[in-house]
Structure 1
Amino acid sequence: MKSKLIGFAAVVGVSLGLAGAAHADQLADIKAKGKITAATEMHYAPFDLLVDGKYEGICHDLFTEVAKELGVEVEFLDLPWQSILPGLEAGKFDFVNAPVTITAERMKRYNFTLPIGNATVALAKKAGDDSISKPEDIAGKAVGSQKGSAQLEQLKAFSATLNPPADVREYVNIDEALADLAAGRIQAVANSMPLMGYAAVQRPGLFEMVMPPFGTPKYFGWVGTGGEDSKTLIAAINDAILKMHEDGRLKAINEKWLGTSPDLPTTMPDVK
């Protein structure tokens, strides 16, 4: 299967052709074209990352398998996180294969797939920082997270319970937050547990996980447009995800990137 990678600048060129493509039988439309166009932000390792200009990660590997099950090619778009959900609503692409935290508020607006990852919030600190041994130790400290993310909102809520609250700082992407952590400009970064664990495993002399995670358990899913538009597509993708649960592909892809496989539900979680 052929996967194409195009940058943000090229989105303008394809958006006019894709605008308004979503309709009640989106799956049939995609199969007729022989291609599904999926958008993500390729700076969210281990789910999405660029390595020497090549798109890799959990979501790349999983969605490539999904496209095989659908019998279509996949074209991946690299966009800033803040533009992805608005772009989906504007019809600039077919689907969002970014790991989007499943929340009750978002479920009112979009159709989600079954969970593809664990989104529970955890902290990373600079290796050797003994001033932080548990989440509550970020009281009064500068902590970064990604602007527009559900993890940022959970960090803010947790910070409000501390005395004094943490100094919460917002970043365009998580790489920038980790760079500031490495440079000592902030004392911790909050994001999903797999993301923080991956950072610690990849750079063990620089970052360490702070356990346990905080907040209620959350999950990542992929996203289609709301209403009836993407229901046939979501159902077909869910069938592919369940097939990968059963045949071991989902487990193998997670172990490749995380060294372990999270226990993911095979039905939609109850979100509040």
Structure 2
Amino acid sequence: MRFNPLFGKTLAALGAATLIALAPQVRADQLADVKKAGELVVGTEMQFAPFDFLDNGKQQGLNAELFKALGDELGVKVRFIDLPWPSVLPGLEAKKFDVVAGPIIVTKARKERYRFLDPIAEATVSLLKGAHNDKIGKPQDIAGMTVGAGKGSAQLEELKTFAATLPQKVTIREYVDNNQAYADLAAGRIAAVANSLPNISYVAAQRSQVFAVVQPPFGKKSYFAYLGRKDDDSASLIAELNKALAKLHADGRLAALQKKWLGAAMDTPQGDFEPTW
């Protein structure tokens, strides 16, 4: 019986296909990719003082210093990409960067979609008004007025919820970046700006002759955190960043940065927690 060379080639091909099918599949690992590149790429908006802002073209704020410490713990450099806030989360999902600095308020809906690090600051929403505006003494006084907030932000949604409880309609103006909202407030074009308490406290402290904080905050108690994608390959990176963040929490470096940039150390939850909204 003669051997058919085509039959032999067919067997060889089938054997190779079987080996490929049986071979363990290499899964993507974002932490391994970051360490191999030696760089953690972070998406942010540098119009969000005191977390991220530009001073004479140079990045300043809590994010720059905190991510430098996290990068040191991971043994990698950190590179920031500055974008308008409405483009940041879509950029994360498109894998244009590894994580988002923001920070962003942790909500139930966002936890379904993203993987968060432990919170780094309180984020309860409050109001910023003009320093000489005697018409607003408490949050409810914005009834019938025009108030600004960041487009696509959780603070905007909290403002809408609060405004719906007031006896007169609140006209809400949405801004692509917060500096534009603060400029309109300073010029008297709007009556107040809704943002998280650490942000407006910083703005009011920097320009106390122009702005003042309306007390008390009107939003439900909430927290700021950094986040990444919720796909399988990102789990290792977020876990390692959380481990590094826990170390900064334990040795007091996080509290020191909170005092420097937010005015006081903040009690934030560690580990998984249930957001209030």
TM-score, with length taken from structure 1: 0.90
- Correspondences of 1:107-122 after superposition (within 5 Å): 107-122=111-126
AA matched with 1:120? T
Q: Equivalents in 1 of 2:64, 2:94: separation in Å? A: 23
- Residue in structure 1 matched with residue 144 of structure 2 by the alignment: 140
Q: How does 1:40-189 map to 2 (within 5 A)?
A: 40-189=44-193
Instruction: Give the 3-state SS of the residue equivalent to 2:113 in structure 1.
Output: coil
Question: In 2, Cα distance between the equivalents of 1:140 and 1:88?
Answer: 38
In the TM superposition, residue 24 of structure 1 has moved relative to its aligned partner by 4.1
In structure 1, the residue corresponding to 2:128 is in which secondary structure?
Answer: strand
Which segment is superposed worse, 249-258 or 176-185?
A: 249-258
1:220 is aligned to 224
**What is the aligned length?**
250
Give the one of 199, 210, 213 matched to 2:214: 210
Q: Is the 8 A contact 1:102 1:219 kept in 2?
A: yes
| Equivalent residue number for residue 17 of structure 1 | none
* 1:166-190 CA distance string (max 9 Å, x none): 1111001111000000000001000
Q: In the alignment, residue 192 of structure 2 is paired with which amino acid? A: A
* AA of the residue aligned to 2:250: E
Partner in structure 2 of residue 260 of structure 1:
264
SS in 2 for 1:162: coil
Q: Residues 23-38 of structure 1: matches in 2 within 5 Å?
A: 24-38=28-42
SS in 2 for 1:238: helix
1:196 matches 2:200: yes
The root-mean-square deviation of aligned C-alpha atoms, in Å, is 1.0
Q: Which runs of 5 or more residues in structure 1 are unaligned?
A: 1-22
Larger radius of gyration: 2
Post-superposition shift, 1:205? Answer: 0.6
Kindly provide the CA deviation profile for residues 185-225 of structure 1, in whole angstroms up to 9, marking residues without a partner as x.
00100000000100110000100000110121111111111
Partner of 1:246: 250
- The SS at the match of 1:199 is helix
| Residue 131 (structure 1) shift | 0.6
Question: Which of 261, 269, 272 is matched with 2:273 structurally?
Answer: 269
Alpha-carbon distance in 1 for matches of 2:202, 2:208: 10
TM-score (norm. length: structure 2): 0.88
Give percent identity, aligned residues only.
52
Between the aligned partners of 2:273 and 2:218, the Cα distance in structure 1 is 18
- State the 1:229 CA deviation: 2.5
The superposition leaves residues 11-69 of structure 1 with CA deviations (integer Å, 9 ceiling, x where unpaired) of xxxxxxxxxxxx74110111111111111000000000001111110111111100000
Structure 2 letter corresponding to 1:45: A
Secondary structure, in 3 states, of the residue corresponding to 2:203?
helix
Moved more, 148-157 or 233-242: 233-242
* CA apart distance, 1:146: 0.3
Distance (Å, rounded) in 1 between the aligned partners of 2:157 and 2:28: 33
Amino acid paired to 1:96: V
Q: Secondary structure of the residue that 2:165 maps to in structure 1?
A: coil
